[in-house]
Amino acid sequence: MNTLEKLAKLVRYYILTSTTEAGSGHPSSSLSAVELMVTLMFRGFFSYDISQVDYPNNDRLIFSKGHASPLFYSLWTAAGALTEEELLSYRKFGSRLEGHPTPALPYVEAATGSLGQGLSIGVGMALNAKSIDKLPYRTFVLLGDSEMAEGSQWEAMQIAAHYKLNNLIGILDVNRLGQTGETMYGHDLSAYEKRIASFGWKTWVIENGHNMSHIASAYEQALAVTGAPVMIIAKTIKGKGVSFIENKNGWHGKALSKIECENALKELGEVDRSITGRFAKPQSCKSIEYILKIRLKDNGYGNEPIATRKAYGQALVRIFPKHPEMVVLDGEVSNSTYAEIFKETYPDRYFEMYIAEQNMIGTALGLSRRGKIPFVSSFAAFLTRANDQIRMCQYSEANIKFCGSHAGVSIGQDGPSQMGLEDIAMFRSIRNSVVLYPSDAVSTDKLVEEAANYKGLVYIRTTRSATPIIYPASETFPIGKCKVVRESKNDFVTVVAAGITLHEALKSYEDIKKDGIFIRVIDLYSIKPIDIETLKSAAQQTKAIVVVEDHYPEGGIAEAVRSALAGSKTPIYSLAVDNIPKSGTPDELLQFENISKDAINKTVKQLRQENI
Amino acid sequence: MNTLEKLAKLVRYYILTSTTEAGSGHPSSSLSAVELMVTLMFRGFFSYDISQVDYPNNDRLIFSKGHASPLFYSLWTAAGALTEEELLSYRKFGSRLEGHPTPALPYVEAATGSLGQGLSIGVGMALNAKSIDKLPYRTFVLLGDSEMAEGSQWEAMQIAAHYKLNNLIGILDVNRLGQTGETMYGHDLSAYEKRIASFGWKTWVIENGHNMSHIASAYEQALAVTGAPVMIIAKTIKGKGVSFIENKNGWHGKALSKIECENALKELGEVDRSITGRFAKPQSCKSIEYILKIRLKDNGYGNEPIATRKAYGQALVRIFPKHPEMVVLDGEVSNSTYAEIFKETYPDRYFEMYIAEQNMIGTALGLSRRGKIPFVSSFAAFLTRANDQIRMCQYSEANIKFCGSHAGVSIGQDGPSQMGLEDIAMFRSIRNSVVLYPSDAVSTDKLVEEAANYKGLVYIRTTRSATPIIYPASETFPIGKCKVVRESKNDFVTVVAAGITLHEALKSYEDIKKDGIFIRVIDLYSIKPIDIETLKSAAQQTKAIVVVEDHYPEGGIAEAVRSALAGSKTPIYSLAVDNIPKSGTPDELLQFENISKDAINKTVKQLRQENI
């Protein structure tokens, strides 16, 4: 038995013992890919300096089929990176070895477990190597056959081919069985081959995915390909190596009992636990250094109204010299989001992602995990398309800036399908997210810079129509603060607004002033984190809070304010989008939804009448 | 000039005049598909009884490229269904002719405008004809080339081939140009053909998509295909018929000015506005009648703990005889969501949608629009994958029931990727949605029935682990109400819980009672709509409200309660998931996130100490 065979046996031993110890997990899905992965990692195809996890030239390995985590952890144990003791902590509270991989363990490139996302992450890492850092490292992605049903896979597939990512290698583990039964194509390798080839990938089919010399020869050829990404498509047996679960339905996501495990280990025979798998040495490289040109020009906004979406594009250009890790992605609407302003100035750092938002976010995650700061834009409405990918970003310690343009009914004639009305709710619900909503070009400019400086997930909501400049160029906009833009000692109530509604609030201020009523107006440009202190003062000093937002009521700004003011006895009223939105002019729609200056006037006057 | 040519000319005239009158819209994207659609509709291929929009055998036409709405409205005007006067109301406030199609106009099968969704809706309609209602009507979907980048298209593609939907015909308008520039494949028809064919579709390529006899012959052959869906792939010119915009970048989503329009109309020449396009007559059919077997059996839950997800599956079986329009779809996790219980009993009404959630929701929408009641299930976490499709359902007057299983950290060892922690926020933010969260088998059973009886979008959140039965079989659970499950005259504070946390609240009740403190416990099984009256009473009668939920704080139950109690002076505290979730046992994780009975005990005791 050669070393590779011994390693495969050892990895099987680890898979079985760790899952049975945990009492749950996915041994059968892990066993099918043992030879594919052992050959990749320990026969010289995978270059990795195990002493320097962050070494820029380390190859990258992503388990898109994240449920095969027992295999992943077993491989790194066989490589000496994890102890057998730690392996047995799998799935236990506090362990780095979670049910599905997360970067709690440094060998994990990104959290997976929501299927069909790993290839997009791989696209980001491969794009980084090929087009940004210009490094020779390769990105390998282990894919399950079930997850090929996810559309996001085909988004990744087309973009990888479009950008000719020949440093991206997919390994498709066709073990025939999904969670509940046979996949759509079972063991028909040609079904996968023709689809994948039609998308512009080079394909290699391995009829026996447990034959390590066949596998090795596929890798040899795959790594020599130029000009296209490569998919290795291997026929495997789910549960391989344990006769009583091999190729059997009903064994998905099920650990063997102690007795079953003993029997399986007997079948496996003697295991050499003294051997260690070795990686190839990565090519040496100097550390990546970006040339800073930190003299930032000033966008110098005058008095002309300008759309915040346009200021977004201009801000990207302005701050790039100070943030050379920036990369800008857009979903084929860059002339609407104004990411095109950046594209025109720094074409090498702009990547067109076409109308495929899920892959766009996955790619951004891959770029982020390789040290970039991706700014990703589309219509706010269409970012909901990638909600699951955005959700997964929060478990990958990602550093991504999302920009959603065309927020709210104020976009006008295009109608509800194009209106972002749930985006604040979506982004607020992401753990540790930052949600920003500028109202003029100056605040947009500053907030884009704040976003770049902040490490984490930041959402910036922009508006379609031009809005007046309300801030001087010297104003600062720290994350977590807000601006009190109108204030007096006699303020009756406080109107909290952001983005388009701030301008309505300011108009309302002027209107109501004529009746001798003063309102405090707060620009809540940072919706999350939220400026609790300033809101509390307003709640203490005025009789009510009226929140006006171009968003549905649930999960939006009013609820954020209510949570911030929990415990306060000041009543909080919400003016939000509550009629079925439709086409019309922006003004007609603000009016229709009761979020215009007239609606604010009416609400405030009514509160005055009620003598609250 | 024959009638068809005259109609094409008339439709162009309508496209140009209506968009110029509106001052916005997408004339260039409409002009490319004029011949494709005129030939389809007015040369006998499209069967439709214009006097009976609801006629079951009418063919269905979906504009997946919803921005070509000017073409859609112009076709129906040419067919005499709309007046020229109404056509000129396009995009105006109050018009049925919105910027992107919505069912405000009865000829619109479903709202489109978020690209890449129409084919899935078509799958639902075709599946209905082929496998449920057994009707000969056909479903036609007009697709744009840009939107083929959306992964959801390929999800729909694979499922349509899997179910051999030969009554589904896609028409791909390859006009080369997207919004910002050339698409990935430009005018390379073979790029589309090989991809689409590899997915199991029959394809027809039309080299000149403006030649109506070529188009007619493609339709003739397409309609004769058996055993597979058909895609007609046509090379077209964006802006066709207006020389100065034809095939030019920069004319996407841009109406011609008045002068440009006049010039375009001059080019077009004389138009015969007296002609009317005629449809073929649909095959006659009797109305669909479902045989009701309304004697429902009782699921008869005893005292054994049972998971609400299991009760969901059992409830589906129980209520089907009373709701024969029900169809159950699941994303290849039916043994986790327990939709498999329905599948085993009524296999003809269960459709496996594999791991492709976006298409699953689109298919459900198509089924709903043909009178079915789809129940759609996956893990709560993975329904976020289809957020954009769910968002679009709200604009289609859809009647769909979503079930998300494995909600919250209480799923345990599988880790954060599998935990639904943002799902309540997502579903609450959908306009007019209903959000239900049962805590035991009895309430699940009843709420599934309530959901079936309710016309609209309903979300049901279920729990992985078995929970005790707390309600008698006779209990009722109306939507919009809640249950006060523990109550006395001396209640100190009110604990509002739902699902898994209700059981923690009940345990806490017993614990704290020993210290002589009584808490009111409310089961908020209906999170939206919410029972404002009962919450208000609790707020008046007790000193504080403590909301405990297995969900992130934002957009969840606490914020729903805060909105419901806006204006109340009773403080509302939130216990929600706020540490980075990880693997562990359910109990360890409830503890870690401070949503266990111990956390409730501690909070209540602290409030007592503070003497609020």
- For B19, the token pair is 């968009």
Question: Which residues are CB-neighbours of B256 under 8 A, at least 6 positions away?
Answer: B16, B19, B20, B27, B242, B245, B264
Q: pLDDT-based confidence at B600, cuts 50/70/90?
A: very high
CB–CB contact A151 B151 (8 Å): yes
Residue B415, pLDDT > 70, answer yes
CA atoms within 13 A on the CB side of A218: 29
Q: For residue A431, which amino acid is it?
A: R
CB–CB contact A356 B149 (8 Å): yes
Residue B27, pLDDT > 70, answer yes
Distance from the Cα of A554 to chain B's closest Cα (Å) equals 5
- Nearest-by-Cβ selection for B417 from A114, A382, A571: A114
Distance from the Cα of A550 to chain B's closest Cα (Å) equals 13
pLDDT digits over A181-226, tens only?
Answer: 999 999 999 999 999 999 999 999 999 999 999 999 999 999 999 9
- Nearest-by-Cβ selection for A555 from B98, B183, B425: B425
pLDDT, mean over chain A: 96
Residue of B nearest to A396 (CA): B417
Q: Which of A108, A26, A109 is nearest to A68 (CA)?
A: A26
Parallel/antiparallel/unpaired status of strands B306-307 and B466-467: antiparallel
Residue B302: strand, helix, or coil: coil
CA atoms within 13 A on the CB side of A376: 34
Residue B51: strand, helix, or coil: coil
Tell me the C-alpha distance between B80 and B11, whole Å: 12
Residue of B nearest to A380 (CA): B388
Residue B297 pLDDT: 75
Distance from the Cα of B318 to chain A's closest Cα (Å) equals 23
Residue of B391, B465, B589 to mutate when probing chain A, most A C-beta within 10 A:
B391
- Nearest-by-Cβ selection for A158 from B149, B335, B395: B149
Distance from the Cα of B594 to chain A's closest Cα (Å) equals 15
Residue of A388, A411, A590 to mutate when probing chain B, most B C-beta within 10 A:
A388
CB–CB contact B422 A391 (8 Å): yes
Contact A231/A196 with Cβ under 8 angstroms?
yes
- For B582, the token pair is 């990880």
Residue A302 pLDDT: 87
CB–CB contact B334 A559 (8 Å): no
Strand order across the beta sheet in which A202-206 lies: A60-63, A139-144, A168-174, A230-235, A202-206
High-pLDDT (> 90) share of chain A, %: 96
pLDDT digits over A325-357, tens only?
Answer: 999 999 999 999 999 999 999 999 999 999 999
Distance from the Cα of B569 to chain A's closest Cα (Å) equals 5
Residue A412, pLDDT > 70, answer yes
Which chain A residues touch B96 with a CB distance below 8 Å?
A: none
CB–CB contact A335 B179 (8 Å): yes
Q: pLDDT-based confidence at B298, cuts 50/70/90?
A: confident
Average pLDDT estimate for B221-229: 94
Q: Tokens 């391995």 — which residue? A: A206
Contact A200/A158 with Cβ under 8 angstroms?
yes
Which chain B residues touch A188 with a CB distance below 8 Å?
A: none
- For B353, the token pair is 């949608």
Residue B1 pLDDT: 81
- Helix (H) / strand (E) element for B560: namely helix B557-564
Which chain A residues touch B544 with a CB distance below 8 Å?
A: none
Parallel/antiparallel/unpaired status of strands B483-486 and B458-461: unpaired
Q: Which of B425, B314, B331 is nearest to B379 (CA)?
A: B331
CB–CB contact A563 B558 (8 Å): yes
pLDDT digits over B210-224, tens only?
Answer: 999 999 999 999 999
Average pLDDT estimate for B489-496: 97
- Nearest-by-Cβ selection for B151 from A150, A392, A563: A150
Q: For residue B95, which amino acid is it?
A: S
Catalytic residue, from A98, A325, A357, A559: name it: A357
CB–CB contact A179 B333 (8 Å): yes
pLDDT, mean over chain B: 96
Average pLDDT estimate for A90-115: 97
Does residue A529 have a cis bond before it (omega within 30 degrees)?
Answer: yes
Q: Helix and strand tally (H, E) in chain A?
A: 23, 19
Tell me the C-alpha distance between B192 and B208, whole Å: 15
Residue of A340, A343, A422 to mutate when probing chain B, most B C-beta within 10 A:
A422
Residue B175 pLDDT: 98
Which chain A residues touch B555 with a CB distance below 8 Å?
A: 425, 428-429, 554-555, 559
Q: For residue B1, which amino acid is it?
A: M
Residue A611, pLDDT > 90, answer no
Q: How many residues does chain B have?
A: 612
CB–CB contact A334 B180 (8 Å): yes
Tell me the C-alpha distance between B323 and B306, whole Å: 25
Contact B180/B207 with Cβ under 8 angstroms?
no
pLDDT digits over A246-303, tens only?
Answer: 999 999 999 999 999 999 999 999 999 999 999 999 999 876 777 666 667 778 898 8
Which chain B residues touch A413 with a CB distance below 8 Å?
A: 22-25, 91, 99
Model pTM score:
0.97
Q: pLDDT-based confidence at B303, cuts 50/70/90?
A: confident
Measured N-to-C along each axis, helices A258-268 and A3-22 cross at an angle, to the nearest 10 degrees, of 170
pLDDT digits over B381-399, tens only?
Answer: 999 999 999 999 999 999 9
pLDDT digits over A2-34, tens only?
Answer: 999 999 999 999 999 999 999 999 999 999 999
CB–CB contact B554 A555 (8 Å): yes
Which chain B residues touch A158 with a CB distance below 8 Å?
A: 149, 184
CB–CB contact A151 B155 (8 Å): yes
Residue B528 pLDDT: 98
Burial class (CB in 10 A: 0-12, 13-18, 19+), A510: exposed
Residue of B123, B350, B355 to mutate when probing chain A, most A C-beta within 10 A:
B355
Residue B368: strand, helix, or coil: helix
CB–CB contact B194 A198 (8 Å): yes
pLDDT digits over B35-88, tens only?
Answer: 999 999 999 999 999 999 999 999 999 999 999 999 999 999 999 999 999 999
Distance from the Cα of B431 to chain A's closest Cα (Å) equals 7
Which chain A residues touch B352 with a CB distance below 8 Å?
A: 180-181
Strand extents, DSSP E, B168-213: 168-174, 202-206
Catalytic residue, from B35, B150, B155, B357: name it: B357
pLDDT digits over B313-348, tens only?
Answer: 999 999 999 999 999 999 999 999 999 999 999 999
Distance from the Cα of B282 to chain A's closest Cα (Å) equals 31
CB–CB contact B413 A25 (8 Å): yes
Parallel/antiparallel/unpaired status of strands A139-144 and A60-63: parallel
Tell me the C-alpha distance between B315 and B7, whole Å: 53
Phi/psi of residue B546, each to 5°?
-115, 115
**Residue contacts between A and B (CB atoms, under 8 Å):** 322
Which chain B residues touch A571 with a CB distance below 8 Å?
A: 566-567
Q: B130: which DSSP letter?
A: I
Q: Does residue A504 carry a catalytic annotation?
A: no
CB–CB contact A149 B155 (8 Å): yes
Tell me the C-alpha distance between A284 and B335, whole Å: 49
CB–CB contact B332 A149 (8 Å): yes
Residue B294 pLDDT: 66
CB–CB contact B426 A429 (8 Å): yes
Does residue B529 have a cis bond before it (omega within 30 degrees)?
Answer: yes
Start-to-end CA span in chain A (Å): 86
Residue B293 pLDDT: 67
